[in-house]
Amino acid sequence: MAKKEFDYVWTDKKRTIFGLPLSFTRYFLTETKFITRTGFLSITEDELDLYKVTDKKLVLSLGQRMFGCGSVIIYVKDTDTPVKEVRSIKSPRKLSDLIDKYVDMQKDKYRIKGRDMMGSYAEECDGDCNSYDE
Q: Which CATH code of 2.30.29.30, 2.60.40.10, 2.60.120.650, 3.40.50.720 fits the domain covering 10-109?
A: 2.30.29.30
Per residue in 38-81, pLDDT (tens digit) is: 999 999 999 999 999 999 999 999 999 999 999 999 999 998 99
Share above pLDDT 90 across residues of the chain, in percent, rounded to a whole number: 70
Q: Where are the domains of the chain?
A: 10-109
For the chain, counts of helices (H) and of strands (E):
3, 7
**Closest C-alpha to 95, from 18, 24, 8:** 8
Do 70 and 60 touch, CB atoms closer than 8 A?
A: yes
pLDDT range class, residue 123, cuts 50, 70, 90: very low
Do 116 and 51 touch, CB atoms closer than 8 A?
A: no
* Cβ count near 8 (within 10 Å): 12
The pTM score is 0.80
